[in-house]
Chains A and B, each alone.
Chain A
Amino acid sequence: MPYQRIKFYQTGSLAVGNRLLAEDQRSVQSTAGRSNALTCGHRACQGCGEALGARYALDAVHRATGGKMIAVNATGCLEVFSTPFPQTSWQIAWLHSLFGNAPAVASGVAAALKAMGRTDIRVVGQGGDGGTVDIGFACLSGMFERNDDVLYICYDNQAYMNTGVQRSGATPPAARTATTQAVGREPGNRFGQGKNVPLIAMAHEIPYVATATVADLRDLEYKATRAMDFHGARYLHILVPCPLGWGSAPADTIKVARLATESGLFPVFEAETGEVTSSTPIRRRVPVTDYLRIQARYAHLFRPRERTEVIARIQAAADRNIARFGLMPADIPAERTGPPAPAPVTSPSGAGLEGR
């Protein structure tokens, strides 16, 4: 949700927040009736952002649909770590076909359900950034263009993690990957034009597009739920840090995701039929170096010498996001050392919990 109606400023356990809330305001994950769509025992790495994001998103969709849902998965980490058969972590109807076709397979499932008069069952397609922004992109655009009744979720960890951290079309500039090594005159990934799939989705004018991160799980639950209020093509792009690929501490997954938003590098917003309807303001702005320094994939920006010109380009991209998506409303102090902002009260639904 763009604004949080309820904020908890106390430190310590996150769980206390839910206990202070009325039943109907509690998170999906805090309810005894949560579906555990992706249940325990899977083989994701410690601190995996994708496993966390998938569980929250799918449990929220599960609740929103009363359990009437089918998920279609692209090849990738999520597919591999969840189904070391005969064990499966999926407690929902789940299909994996190929790397590049999850949106089209999901379209096929939706078409079948429509043909069979089972429109009570909703369809989710999902994949990583490789399966979404690169190899699955044509199928994704086709699904958008036809406005097929599918929610597609991209778990963006900014590289091909399953095959060993190679560059994808979603890899940010300067990041080190196995195919954009930290060597040469311009170490790390090149500065390209970027491939902002949320904006590309908006250009299709589909009913609903949103971004989210695992740093704000209530917002993630809200957006997965909100997406199910619409019919037609919907797109949810979730930033999911990958400790292995990013070289961040597994315990820092939430922190890294939060710094991505608070620096402005990853704008969190939602859009309907091509227009941004809300964006989540940055609560306590930080320079991009705060985000970059705690990831080994950017280590070459700081050692052996600080590459100030590269960092300046990354900061400029963050600044542009802040201006473009209105991430720093005038009433919120821009100083990172400033006091906590007053909580706006314009949330369309639900309550928020900001744990620190």
Chain B
Amino acid sequence: MLKQVEGSRAVAEAVAMCRPQVICAYPITPQTHIVEALSAMVKDETLDAEFLNVESEFAAMSVAIGASAAGARAYTATASQGLLYMSEAVWNAAGLGLPIVMTVANRAIGAPINIWNDHSDAMSQRDAGWLQLYAETNQEALDLHIQAFRIAEELSVPVMVCMDGFLLTHASERVDLPAPSQVDAFLPRYEPRQVLDPDEPVSIGAMVGPEAFTEVRYLAYAQMRQALDVIGAAAADFSTQFGRDSGGLVRPYRTGDAEIVVVALGSVLGTVKDAVDELRADGTRVGVLGINTYRPFPADAVREALGGARHVVVLERALAPGSGGIVTADIRAALDPQPRRISTVIAGLGGRAVTRKSLRALLAKAGELEPLTFLDLDTGLVDRELARMRAARRSGPSPENMLRDLGITASRIG
């Protein structure tokens, strides 16, 4: 059924159709609308589940851990500081092998506090042992949640569905909402691999020492390898049953004869494709590779998709200070031993718009790209603050200095 709805609403509807039994959440912008909608469904009894309003994200993930270990399908959602605050439990859920599904409404991490979109939050948890799926559109965000429960439960590994905060969560778009019966046919009943059952008592969460820790971790690695197949199969089945392509490992666009390929994740892919179409019209052989699954990293699929491109431009919505691009490192490893030119472009941090105009200008001069570039960086602003820091020891707080310099107030927090 076609419906014009906010992305958060679409995701809430999809999650509800997956029949989670325990939902726990703590509010953080821009995740709130998703759990608000689910809370209302539980309260008016259109969704038969337990909804727990917990006192922190740490508790939210902990409740999900308990619920999943007791044999229930568990769901939560968070973003940004919330994801970091629950980080210890995020790793623990993966270590325990509990198939929890969580939406991350991607948002920057402070300080400086910033509620707008980038990928710093999810990237900080890339090694937590969760699968990470990135949505390009609201339709894909909706579809990925349905696939996520199936993938998580088949592997007994938790899955994070990443969708760009505001850009997707708060955007109203037309989506095709499946019928509940379609979801029921796609998503089998949850059969836990391990469960807390008084009739067959087991101990879960024992200490493991050096004698087996490596082997336990190897299993996590092996499961991630296996996940590549499971994700592919889920996307293929989804396509058959729902009649549209969503998810999977990677999504190439006009890469066939491309000399330059832009790699990106999430909603920015739409803008990149528009810029590429324009450049193609001008005769530039450029393509796009969307990374739908970031963890496990689909190295083989990436290598194949990048084919003969001589220049790979990785557009990153996060920054690893002291290193540079995060996704770039994965791309470089995937292409080894076929070295080629790779450039990192840090773009769209803290909600900075990534425009078609900027991308087009950047890619038109791709040959001049430094190994690391900040898209649309106001170098004057940076240089003036650096000068202030050189001029006085007590130069004061830099973010505040830079806003004062600009003579504008920070974007409204709300």
**What 1/0 mask marks residues of chain A from 106 to 130 whose CB sits below 8 Å from any chain B CB?**
1111111111100001000000000
Query: A93 within 8 Å of B by Cβ?
Result: yes
For residue B63, which residues in chain A have a CB less than 8 angstroms away from its CB? Answer: 104-105, 107-108, 111
Q: B74 is contacted by which of A94, A108, A138, A146 (Cβ under 8 Å)? A: A108
Which of B62, B66, B72, B89 has the most chain A CB atoms inside 10 A of its CB? Answer: B66
Residues of chain B contacted by A111 (CB below 8 angstroms): 22, 24, 50, 52, 63, 66-67, 72
A80 in the interface, Cβ–Cβ < 8 Å?
Answer: yes
Q: How far is the CA of A83 from the CA of B56 in the complex (A)?
A: 29
Q: Is the CB of B396 closer than 8 A to any CB of chain A?
A: no
A93 adjacent to B50 (CB under 8 Å): no
Binds B, one of A25-33, A62-70, A250-258: A62-70
Is B67 touching A97 in the complex (CB atoms < 8 A)? Answer: no
Bound: A238/B56 CA distance, A: 27
Q: Does A92 make an interface contact (CB < 8 A)? A: yes
- Cβ-based interface call for A244 (8 A): no
Q: Which parts of A290-335 form the interface with B (CB within 8 Å)?
A: none
Question: Chain B CB within 10 Å — which of A73, A105, A142, A148 has the most?
Answer: A105
Provide the residues of chain A in CB contact with B89, threshold 8 Å.
97-98, 101
B 18-45 to A, binary, CB cutoff 8 A, 1 in contact else 0:
0001101000000000000000000000
B65 within 8 A of A: yes
Cβ A95 vs Cβ B56 within 8 A? no
Q: Does A351 count as interface, using CB distance less than 8 angstroms?
A: no
- Quick one: given A108-B67, A109-B69, are A142 and B74 in contact (CB under 8 Å)? no
Given contacts A114-B50, A138-B56, contact A95 B205 (CB under 8 A): yes
Q: Complex Cα distance A355/B178, Å?
A: 69
Q: Is the CB of B67 within 8 A of A112?
A: yes
- CB-based contact A104/B198 at 8 Å: no
- The distance in angstroms between the C-alpha atoms of A312 and B274, with both chains bound, is 80
Interface range on chain B (Cβ under 8 Å from partner)? 35 or more
Q: Which residues of A contact B335 (CB under 8 A)?
A: none
B35 → A minimal CB distance (Å): 15
Q: Which parts of A70-104 form the interface with B (CB within 8 Å)?
A: 70, 72-73, 79-80, 83-85, 88, 90-98, 100-101, 104
Contact in complex: B207, A94 (CB < 8 Å):
no
Max chain A Cβ within 10 angstroms of own Cβ: one of B52, B59, B62, B200: B62
A276 at the interface (CB under 8 A from B): no
- B46 touches A (CB below 8 Å): no
Q: Does residue B267 face the partner (Cβ distance < 8 Å to A)?
A: no
Residue of B nearest to A66 (CB): B198
Q: Give Cα distance in the complex from A140 to B336, angstroms.
A: 50
Expressed in whole angstroms, the Cα–Cα distance for A141 and B56 within the complex equals 11
Q: Is the interface of B mostly helix, strand, loop or mixed?
A: mixed
**CB-defined contacts of B50 to chain A, threshold 8 Å:** 111-112, 114-115
Q: Are A116 and B65 in contact, CB atoms less than 8 angstroms apart? A: no
Find out whether the CB atom of B55 lies under 8 angstroms from the CB atom of A121: no
Cβ contacts under 8 Å, A112 to chain B? 21-22, 50, 66-68, 70-72, 74
Q: Tell me if A's interface is mostly helix, strand, loop or mixed.
A: mixed
User: Of all chain A residues, which has the CB nearest B55?
Assistant: A142
Given contacts A68-B198, A85-B207, contact A141 B66 (CB under 8 A): no
- B281 an interface residue at 8 Å Cβ cutoff? no
Contact (A94, B58) CB under 8 Å given A107-B52, A112-B22, A116-B71: no
> B408 at interface (Cβ–Cβ under 8 A)?
no
Give CA–CA (A96, B89) in the complex, Å: 12
Residues of B close to A73: CB separation below 8 A: 205
The answer to whether A97 touches B96 (Cβ under 8 A) is: yes
Tell me, yes or no, whether B354 is within 8 Å of chain A by CB. Answer: no
Given A108-B62, A108-B65, A109-B70 in contact, is the A92-B208 Cβ separation under 8 Å? no
Q: Is the CB of B67 within 8 A of A95?
A: no
Does residue B49 face the partner (Cβ distance < 8 Å to A)? yes
**B:269-321 near A, CB below 8 Å:** none
B334 to chain A, nearest CB (A): 34
The verdict on A92 contacting B198 (CB below 8 Å), with A85-B206, A146-B52 known, is yes
- Determine the chain B residues whose CB is within 8 A of the CB of A100 once the complex forms: 58, 88
B21 with A115: CB separation less than 8 A: yes
Output the least CB separation between B310 and chain A (Å): 48
Neighbour of B54 across the interface among A67, A90, A98, A142, CB < 8 A: A142
User: Beyond A107-B66, A111-B72, is A93–B52 a contact (Cβ under 8 Å)?
Assistant: no
Judged by a CB distance under 8 angstroms, whether B201 is at the interface is yes
Q: Is the CB of A105 within 8 A of B22?
A: no
CA distance A85 to B212 in the complex (A): 10
Contact flags (1/0) for B327-351 with A, using CB distance below 8 Å? 0000000000000000000000000
Report if B202 contacts A (CB, 8 A): yes
Chain A residue numbers with a CB within 8 Å of B58 are 100-101, 104, 138-139
Shortest Cβ distance from A90 into B: residue: B203
Contact B53 A146 (CB under 8 A): yes
Is B196 at the interface (CB under 8 A from chain A)? yes
Answer whether residue A134 sits at the interface, using C-beta atoms and an 8 A cutoff: no
13 more A-B contacts (CB under 8 A) besides A98-B62, A111-B66, A146-B53? Answer: A69-B198, A94-B204, A97-B65, A104-B58, A104-B63, A107-B54, A108-B22, A108-B63, A108-B69, A111-B50, A114-B50, A116-B70, A139-B58
A-B contact pairs, 22 of them (CB 8 A): A70-B70, A73-B205, A83-B205, A85-B206, A85-B207, A92-B198, A94-B205, A95-B204, A97-B92, A101-B58, A101-B89, A105-B66, A105-B69, A108-B62, A108-B66, A111-B24, A112-B68, A115-B22, A115-B48, A115-B49, A139-B56, A142-B54
Which of B's residues lie within 8 Å of A, judged by CB?
A: 21-22, 24, 48-50, 52-56, 58-59, 62-72, 74, 88-89, 92, 96, 196-198, 200-208
List the interface of chain A (C-beta within 8 A of B): 67-70, 72-73, 79-80, 83-85, 88, 90-98, 100-101, 104-116, 121, 138-139, 141-142, 145-146, 148
